[in-house]
Amino acid sequence: MSAQPTRTPLLVVVVAVLAALLAAPVAQAEAPAAGPPGAAPASGSQARQALVAAQSILRGDSDVLARGSASSASSDGDATLALRDLVLLKDQLTGADREAAERLLARPTGGNQDPQDDGYSVPEATPVCSADVCVHYVATTRDAATPAYVNTALATLTSVHNTYVGAGYREPKGDGTRGGGSNLMDIYLSDIGDAGLYGYCTTDDKTAFKAPWARSAYCVLDNDYARSEFGDANTAEENLQVTAAHEYFHAVQYAYDFKEDSWLLEATATWAEDELFDAVNDNVQYLGYSPLTRPRLPMDSSGGGFFYGTFVFFRFLTERFPAAQGGLPTLVRDIWRKADGTKGAPDQYSWQAVATVLRGKKTTAAKAFTAFAEANRRPAQTYDEGAANRYPKARLADSLTLGVRQFRREVRLSHLTSATYRLTPGGALRNKAFKLRVLLDLAPTFRGSSAIVTVYTTSGDVRRNIIKLRKDGNATKVVPFSKAGVRQVEVTLVNASGRYDCFVRGAFSCQGDSRDDRQVQRFSARAFR
């Protein structure tokens, strides 16, 4: 793994089971607990949690629809990631637990061995295949798909495949003789909407789970996206389109590194679905729980569905670096090439790969995140679809109408977060000579501190002032503050740190913990003339 420490799988799915929350991150492989003399060894606790979580999600215990990935940004239930974690920990399961995991990971053609009843109960019809994709289905029972739907699914998936390959992405890894022996990408149509799922991908690759990290995948999509199960926000074909694009991108990702950080897996898959089917805009729903609405939550967080809304960061980047191949911006592809965990590849972790690609664009990840944080205060103006799709505006930390008295604030910011304060000139500040002096007392810059002071004029202009901090994090900035010409001034404080202690069972990039969380950031402001 390119001289990096051995990674430990991270359980990113948190689900309610028997009225208890299973929320522990996956740990290093642990020895099963000893049982009574003569008894079979018990399953490892983390592996058992992964099994119960996956069972719960595929049973439909979540009360919202989920696209293998959740269809509600408030859902923790992600079948694709839950199954990924189960695969990683399966060897720690014993006895009945191991058998349950094998059944859970079986393809629908495994039949009734699947305890979640996702398996076909009748022999499958002859799969319908293109040069790259095979669609598997049955013609009867509740899992049945009509010939017209099968053909639409094949055409959609083949188009998705061709788009990704045409954009320079690696094809999904072949699965050899599994899935009918075609060595093509296998997609199974099944009635999974009754469990609240749009689709999911997983792997039954028999390769030992160690580096290199490329794995084959197969995916399961719903057999009809019936309105009775999925509502009428989108048509059945639109649901098929965005789910196919999202889940197939997971299969592409697995050909690079199926153990990559969860937030990068889901954020870029959610970004991809909108790039391929821009008119559907299904991913806009995730912005309700995203860096736009939760700027104080680390952007690379892996829980609670937050990573779906983080697609907006990649939208921000690709709108600013729009160079494209095959109709798709190349920036996300280049990030996956840096995250590539195959033999001889860079095998960088998520934020490291982002930082490397941005350095090649003559900027830094910290500068890009700072610009992103400030731009999120004006999403209608700073995103191509921000106005049309009503992107939410990043929340303010505080707002105050300021007279001549001094304003002081202190905040603790964790990595990849921000806080914006709005200062509005009071009625006494009508003289055009009034200015605002902003004194910044932030954490040292090596800890990720940065700041932008933005002036909104009464004429509608927006003037961004990127503050050049001293190494100790201090700086002074003077800007106009007369009520005659200034509507408001916003001070955005940022912790753009990308420093981690990696592979310590953390919930962030590189399954690590940030070295720079809860940094104290202070500033004061006073009007004068």
Average pLDDT over residues 183-204: 95
Q: Which pLDDT score is estimated for 77?
A: 67
* 56 and 63 Cβ atoms separated by less than 8 Å: no
The CA angle 224-229-231, to the nearest 5 degrees, is 100
- Give alpha helix (H) positions in 90-141: 95-104
What are the CA-CA distances from residue 396 to residues 196, 419, 423, 493 (Å)? 35, 7, 11, 11
**The domain 398-528: what is its CATH number?**
2.60.120.380
- Under the banding of pLDDT at 50, 70 and 90, the label for residue 122 is very high
Q: Which pLDDT score is estimated for 62?
A: 55
| Cβ partners under 8 Å of residue 460, min gap 6 | none
* 466 and 369 Cβ atoms separated by less than 8 Å: no
- Under the banding of pLDDT at 50, 70 and 90, the label for residue 41 is low
Average pLDDT over residues 269-278: 98
Instruction: Identify which of 440, 444, 450 has the alpha carbon closest to the alpha carbon of residue 523.
Output: 440
Q: Which pLDDT score is estimated for 409?
A: 96
- E-only strand ranges, 46-198: 128-129, 133-136, 185-190
Average pLDDT over residues 31-43: 49
Q: How far apart are CA 518 and CA 323, in angstroms?
A: 36
Average pLDDT over residues 493-507: 96
CA 214 from centre of chain: 19
Position 27 pLDDT exceeds 90? no
Position 71 pLDDT exceeds 50? no
Neighbours of 7 (CB within 10 A): 24
Q: In this structure, what is the dihedral angle of CA atoms 386, 391, 394, 398, given to the nearest 10 degrees?
A: 110
Q: How far apart are CA 401 and CA 481, in angstroms?
A: 11
pLDDT tens profile 416-433:
999 999 999 999 999 999
Q: What is the pTM of this model?
A: 0.90
- Under the banding of pLDDT at 50, 70 and 90, the label for residue 114 is low
State both tokens at 199.
């689709």
Position 351 pLDDT exceeds 90? yes
CA 333 from centre of chain: 15
- Under the banding of pLDDT at 50, 70 and 90, the label for residue 113 is low
* 490 and 421 Cβ atoms separated by less than 8 Å: yes
Instruction: Identify which of 285, 293, 330 has the alpha carbon closest to the alpha carbon of residue 167.
Output: 330
User: Environment class of residue 378 by beta-carbon count within 10 Å: exposed (0-12), middle (13-18) or buried (19+)?
Assistant: middle
Instruction: Identify which of 231, 238, 223 has the alpha carbon closest to the alpha carbon of residue 147.
Output: 223
Q: Which pLDDT score is estimated for 32?
A: 41
Q: How far apart are CA 5 and CA 504, in angstroms?
A: 10
Decide which of 23 and 458 is more confident: 458
Position 108 pLDDT exceeds 90? yes
Q: Which pLDDT score is estimated for 481?
A: 97
Average pLDDT over residues 162-187: 94
Decide which of 1 and 81 is more confident: 81
Nearest 5°: phi and psi at 437? -100, 120
Q: How far apart are CA 100 and CA 106, in angstroms?
A: 10
- Please state, rounded to an integer, the average pLDDT across all residues of the chain: 89
Domain extents for the chain? 15-382, 398-528
What are the CA-CA distances from residue 394 to residues 154, 185, 415 (Å)? 40, 40, 17
Q: Which pLDDT score is estimated for 60?
A: 84
Average pLDDT over residues 331-352: 97
Q: In this structure, what is the dihedral angle of CA atoms 129, 134, 137, 143, given to the nearest 10 degrees?
A: -140
Lowest mean pLDDT across 65-74, 126-135, 233-242, 489-498: 65-74
Neighbours of 132 (CB within 10 A): 16
* Identity at 144, one-letter amino acid code: A
Instruction: Identify which of 372, 464, 380 has the alpha carbon closest to the alpha carbon of residue 418.
Output: 372
Return the percentage of the chain with pLDDT > 90, whole number. 81
Q: How far apart are CA 117 and CA 104, in angstroms?
A: 9
Decide which of 69 and 383 is more confident: 383
Q: How far apart are the first and last CA of the chain?
A: 60
Q: How far apart are CA 110 and CA 107, in angstroms?
A: 5
Instruction: Identify which of 230, 213, 214 has the alpha carbon closest to the alpha carbon of residue 222.
Output: 230
Q: How many residues does the chain have?
A: 529
Q: How far apart are CA 107 and CA 178, in angstroms?
A: 10
